[in-house]
Amino acid sequence: MKLQSAITMFLIIFFMMMPVVSYARHHHVSHARPEPLPEWCQEQGYSCLRVKSGQSWKSLFPDQVERDIVMRINRTNRAIYGGIVIEVPDHLAMSNELDFSPLPRNIDAQSEKVIIVDLTVHAWGAYGADGSLVRWGPATGGSDWCRDIHRACRTKPGTFRVYSLGSSSCVSRKFPVPRGGAPMPYCMFFDGGQALHGSPGEVVRGNISHGCVRIYVNDAEWLRYDFVEGPNSSNNYHGTKVVVKPYGDSDSR
């Protein structure tokens, strides 16, 4: 009799617990603590914002200018999603994009225009002949290792000249392996197969490309048509200078 009562009690408890287990299984109940805030998001003059489910760049920053600034600060044009942390300046409404440049506002006058690419801070800057910064934007360079080609593919550092310019329909002839076809809008080749080019949704705070410098599409279009010159008779066939700094060699923010 005691055994029968014990079995009955066990079955009652078992069936009472089933809905709780089922709910947790299907609704992914978790008591895990949120991820700690990243170091780069704890700088003076900035605040950290953890994105909630359903929020987007546009819903968080309806003003297009402010949205563009925050995306540049976070070095990405990828969509955001719940749980990630973004960096937001404390005085956004009173600022412009040059206020947040990780590159110097002025460099020594070069007597010509120059583009500086610093892949340590994941940014590029366009400088006028007087050395003043005209525009900057996020940049993603070559990866330490590319699994599809079984080798390192870092962007080569050095001083180069733009030698070839493409349009919005520019595509890679090599990637993805083996047939190519990856979009490279407004490509500006400066060293062999390495180019500055627009990259829809693939600019990040990191270096993950096959060697090209990925930048925002609107930045690439501006550089291509409003700043960069290919080799021609008026510049003695010297295209716009591009300086790629070595990885880890940065005195920028």
- List phi, psi (to 5°) of 103: -105, 160
Is the overall model pTM greater than 0.75, yes or no? yes
Backbone dihedral region for residue 212 (phi beyond 0: left; psi -120 to 50: alpha; all else: beta): beta
Q: How many helices (H) and strands (E) does the chain have?
A: 4, 11
Greatest Cα pair distance, the chain, in angstroms, is: 105
* Of the listed ranges 13-17, 67-71, 104-108, 166-170, the one predicted with least confidence: 13-17
Sheet holding 123-127, edge to edge: 133-138, 123-127, 114-118, 241-244, 158-161
- Give the lowest-confidence range in 33-37, 69-73, 167-171: 33-37
Q: What is the pLDDT of residues 89-98, one digit of tens each?
A: 999 999 999 9
Share of the chain above pLDDT 90, in %: 78
Q: Domain locations in the chain?
A: 39-98, 101-244
In what helix (H) or strand (E) does residue 194 lie, and over which residues does it extend? strand 194-198
The token pair at 198 is 């627009």
The confidence score (pLDDT) of residue 23 equals: 33
What band does 35 get if pLDDT is binned at 50, 70 and 90? low
The chain-wide mean pLDDT, for the chain, equals: 88
Joined tokens for residue 215 = 């930048």
The pLDDT, as a whole number, for residue 8 is 54
What integer is the mean pLDDT of 222-246?
Answer: 97
Q: What is the mean pLDDT of residues 220-234?
A: 97
Residue 64 main-chain phi, psi, to 5 deg: -60, -40
Q: How many CA atoms lie within 13 A of 183 on its CB side?
A: 12
Residue range 33-52: mean pLDDT, rounded? 80
Task: Give the three-state DSSP class for 9.
Answer: helix
Which CATH number applies to 101-244?
2.40.440.10
Confidence grade of residue 250 (pLDDT, cut at 50, 70, 90): low
What pLDDT is recorded for position 249?
76
Taking CB atoms within 8 Å and a gap of at least 24, the contacts of 115-118 are: 115/196, 115/223, 115/227, 115/228, 115/240, 115/241, 115/242, 115/243, 116/243, 116/245, 117/141, 117/155, 117/196, 117/213, 117/242, 117/243, 117/244, 117/245, 118/245, 118/250, 118/252
In the predicted model, is pLDDT for residue 246 greater than 60?
yes
